[in-house]
Structure 1
């Protein structure tokens, strides 16, 4: 009986195969593709063997059973998934550090009892929302409260003095605004109003100082 010589074994496995290291399946895979194909086919063979052990039929595809597709890879499923609803921003835009157009300040008594000029109030109505990382948020991610009130006016209720106004849609002051009847509001109070609806968004009582 003829015993296979070492060189015969090399011919059986094919060029480039290292039969003595037990990497026959990987060497055959190299004839199909490259190193990446080797890794995929190696996993495929293992999967096919596992399937037979569990009583299932191995796949006819090269390298064993095909990889399962992720749900997002299914065109039919993707077509059924509705696109996210666009955020209604009411025309609001990023205005940088601009916080409004100054009007006329009012003289009030400060916390130390001395007269001082008050030119407005600071709050969500004229601030720019920031992210946790410290940068500005995209307008679409701003709080709904800010987007619902794009234009505001700060006014003192006793004198009707407009301290400041801000329109986030134009990054300017509010143009052509006429003060509504303020008699229903508390006197000697600085209020922030929605420039279009008149809704009171914030208020701060003050002690006016007359000349």
Structure 2
């Protein structure tokens, strides 16, 4: 195994936005990947998201708890097969709460339960434009978990999609949490590096599991 000259450390990218490398060990990554593969199966499975302007997102998505579509939530896959959204498991909510405690401190863990998961699958050509996670009533911290291929993650400011922003690598097993003054910051994925997933995962592409609190 390659040894990095400078091991990656926990980094506060902006106030309330923290990157924790290697947060998920290999066993936990495998377990989460197995769950994602089940969630991606129909009904209410992995779908292509269509934007109001008639375009499509290059990353495909499946939702748990609440179904997100641009730019609202529903209890059924209104822009897909119309079936009820898959339930949000309690263990995934506990994982989210543990992630917030690890990144921002136990005092920042929200009282409300995590009840939304947006799971995006990126192949080598997929991207995600700069956007804000602003369709929820709650402003509890957003939890982002990465599996598979490494990506360039761009974390910006709360005012616009343009600079200033910070580019960083998110690798398999990494955690990124943003809340507080950074909760509504623009962010995106301008690039994925194909073939960089850990071989032991058996995953070609990148999975991003984003956990949110609806506040409803």
Q: TM-score range by the shorter chain?
A: under 0.3
Relative contact order, CA 8 A, sep 6+: which one is greater?
2
Tell me the TM-score normalized by structure 2. 0.18
Whose strand proportion is higher, 1 or 2?
2
Whose helix proportion is higher, 1 or 2?
1
Based on CA coordinates, which of the two structures has the bigger radius of gyration? 1
